[in-house]
Structure 1
Amino acid sequence: MATRRAETTQESKQLLVAAAAELFAERGYRQTTFADIADRSGISRGSITWHFGSKEGLLEAVIKQMVSSVEVDLESPGVRGAGLDRVLQGAVEMSQAPGTKLFITMIAEATEPGSPLRARYAELHEVLRRRIHSWVDSAMLPAGVTLDGFAAVVLGSVIGIHQQWRIAPESFDLEDAYASLRQLMRCALKDAARLGG
């Protein structure tokens, strides 16, 4: 009996987190209400505070799940120094990951003073930069470019490209943007021919 209750509790929490993630991605954190989450999940509004304490607690669970999914991906076999093609393929994969819409939608809220998103986004950025580190060997970088700097530029490019596409997909050529990023990186990185180009 206790085991079934624990399973039901876990299922309810998962449904609430999934519904909140979808709604936060569609509307943003501030515009999403408990009623919206309850309607989408099929779970009562009271369950949100029961499981998470508050809307901010639910937000933390959503972001924690996103961070965890990226960290699990980081544990896959390393491909350090695998070359330019792998770096760019990884960037494209990141931009197409299921949580990317949520990540992009809520990023503006994360920059506001006192935002409950700020610390979680800083953590997620760090996880993503570490993922990019895993693709690159410092010998691939030109003089004066550090692994940290390179990871920040790649992540910033991917976020910026994807954000522009999300805002105006009908007038933004995502494939062309990634092709341009690929060419710019090919020109910047050493030994482009050896690296897959």
Structure 2
Amino acid sequence: MSSPAAVRGQEVRGRLLAAAAELIPERGWSAVSTRILADRAGVTPSVVHYHFPSVQAVLTEAAVSAMRQMLAVTDEQFTAAATPAEAIDAMLASIERHSGVDPLSLLFVEAYLASTRDEHLRAQIAALVADLRHRVGDWLAIHQVPDPAATAAVLAAAIDGLLLHRGLGSSGEGTAKILRRLV
């Protein structure tokens, strides 16, 4: 059984991570300060540094956690498909609710951009992408898709690109037909 202090500590840590996940798309990665994060989470600035070594650490954990959750859903939908063509449709359906300027899309964009200046963040995002590509590649191999690892890499990049382009107003019309040709 956890002590009341440990439970409170976990609750505060969760509030800090939730606040970070909200603030990244609202303000941009570099505009989130200790004070702003603490205010949003309803704690004092010293509490931020009690639970995390830096604001960057909070932002990284919040972003990577959100990315991991979205990729898990996408992976589940993809691997539940009976055929490669259905898997493409499932992947595209998993991003359909994202406009490219919704909070989760913006969190991804901000994290990708921040990773160009933060090796630790880049390594964590790269590990998530590599894991997804590996799982999708294995599934494609089972379904006898030629060159499954390279195809998985192209599919992962295409999904990222489609989300990025949605933020610019592109609809991606006809994409499913083209991606189905890959598999």
The 3 A distance-change label for structure 1 pair 76 and 162 is closer
Q: Which has the higher helix share?
A: 2
**Contact 1:19–1:37 (Cα < 8 Å) also in 2:** yes
TM-score by length of 1: 0.74
Unaligned runs of 5+ in 1: 190-197
Q: 1:163 to 1:72 in 2, by over 3 A?
A: closer
Deviation by residue 1:79-128 (Cα, 9 ceiling, x = unmatched): 3763312233124315647744311222122123x544211111121133
> Which structure: larger Rg?
1
TM-score (norm 2): 0.79
Task: Look up the SS of the partner of 1:141 in the other structure.
Answer: coil
Which AA in structure 1 matches 2:177? Answer: Q
Mean Cα displacement is larger for which, 65-74 or 36-45?
65-74
Corresponding residue of 1:153: 154
Q: Offset of 1:78 from its aligned partner?
A: 4.6
Partner of 2:13: 13
Which of these residues, 125, 132, 144, is aligned with residue 129 of structure 2?
Answer: 125
Gaps of 5+ in 2: none
| AA aligned opposite 2:80 | V
Aligned to 1:104: 109
**d(CA) in 2 for partners of 1:91 and 1:107?**
20
Greater relative contact order (Cα < 8 A, sep 6+): 1
Instruction: Summarize the alignment of residues 37-186 of structure 1 with structure 2, pairs less than 5 Å apart.
Output: 37-66=37-66, 68-69=68-69, 73=73, 78-79=79-80, 82-94=83-95, 96=97, 99-112=104-117, 114-133=118-137, 135-137=139-141, 139-142=143-146, 146-166=147-167, 168=168, 171-173=169-171, 177=172, 179-186=173-180
- Rate the CA distance shift 1:154–1:84 in 2: closer, same or farther, 3 A: same
Residues 92 and 176, structure 2, Cα contact 8 Å, conserved in 1: no
- The CA deviation at 1:33 is 0.8
